[in-house]
Chains A and B, each alone.
Chain A
Amino acid sequence: MSHGGGEDSVDPDLTPLLDLVMQLLMFFIVNVNFVKEAVSQDIELPISSSAKAISKGDTGAIFINQKSGRNKRFFNSLSEKNQARLRNAESIILVPGLNPMSPLEAKGWLRDRYADLAKRNEAKARETMIHFRPDGDLELNQLFLMMEFCKAAGFKNLKIRAKVKKES
Chain B
Amino acid sequence: MTKHLSKQQRVKRDESKIVLPITPMLDMTFQLLFFFIVSFNPADLEGAVELALPSEKQTAAPKDVTPEKPPELEDIKFESNLTVKVRTQTDPETVGEISAISILDNNAKEEYVQPSANAGRQNPLLVGLRENLIKRREMMSDNKESIKIQGDGRLKVARIIKVMDACREAGFNNISFVPPDDFRK
Residue in A21, A47, A53 whose CB lies within 8 Å of B29 = A21
Asked if A48 and B36 sit within 8 Å, CB to CB, the answer is no
Among residues of A, the one whose C-beta sits closest to the C-beta of B86 is A140
Task: Name the one of B32, B46, B72 contacting A161, with C-beta atoms under 8 angstroms.
Answer: B46
Between B49, B50, B151, the greatest number of chain A beta carbons within 10 A of the residue's beta carbon is seen for: B49
Which residues of chain A are within 8 angstroms of B30 by Cβ–Cβ distance?
21
Instruction: Tell me, yes or no, whether B145 is within 8 Å of chain A by CB.
Output: no
Residue of B70, B156, B168 near A151 (CB, 8 A) is: B70
Contact assessment for A144 and B179 in the assembled complex, using a CB-CB cutoff below 8 Å: yes
Proximity bits, B55-77, A CB within 8 Å = 1, else 0: 00000000000000110110000
Contacts of B119 in A (CB 8 A): none
What 0/1 readout, one digit per residue, does chain B (149-166) give for beta carbons within 8 Å of chain A? Answer: 001111111101110110
Taken together as a complex, chains A and B put the C-alpha atoms of A124 and B103 apart, in Å, by 40
Q: Nearest Cβ distance between residue A22 and chain B, in whole angstroms? A: 7
Docked-complex contact B156 and A51, CB < 8 angstroms? no
Q: Does B21 contact A (CB under 8 A)?
A: no
Contact A136 B182 (CB under 8 A): no
Most buried by A among B45, B47, B162: B47
Q: Scoring A residues 133 to 167 as 1 if CB is less than 8 Å from chain B, else 0, what string do you get? A: 01111111101110110011000001111111000
Give CA–CA (A141, B36) in the complex, Å.
42
Chain B residue contacts of A147, Cβ below 8 A:
73
A52 touches B50 (CB 8 A): yes
A33 touching B157 by the CB < 8 A rule? no
- A-B interface, 6 closest residue pairs, ranked by CB to CB distance from nearest: A51-B47, A28-B36, A136-B158, A141-B153, A46-B158, A46-B161
Count of interface residues, chain A, beta-carbon cutoff 8 Å: 44
- Please indicate the chain A residues that have their CB under 8 angstroms from the CB of B51 in the complex: 160
With A32-B40, A49-B169 as contacts: A134 and B46 at CB distance below 8 Å: no
Residues of B within 8 A of A158 (CB): 53
Tell me which residues from 72 to 105 in chain A have a Cβ below 8 Å from any Cβ of chain B: none
Given A144-B180, A144-B183, the answer on whether A138 and B157 have CB atoms closer than 8 Å is yes
Instruction: For chain B, residues 126 to 183, give those with C-beta under 8 angstroms from any C-beta of chain A.
Output: 151-158, 160-162, 164-165, 168-169, 177, 179-180, 182-183
Residues of A within 8 A of B48 (CB): 51-52, 54, 131, 159-162
* CB pair B46 A54 closer than 8 Å: yes
- Shortest beta-carbon distance from A90 to chain B in Å: 10
Most buried by B among A22, A141, A159: A141
Residues of A within 8 A of B165 (CB): 48-50
Q: Which residues of B contact A29 (CB under 8 A)?
A: 36
Given A32-B40, A33-B41, A51-B47, A143-B157 contact (CB < 8 Å): yes
* Residues of B with C-beta under 8 A to A160: 48-49, 51
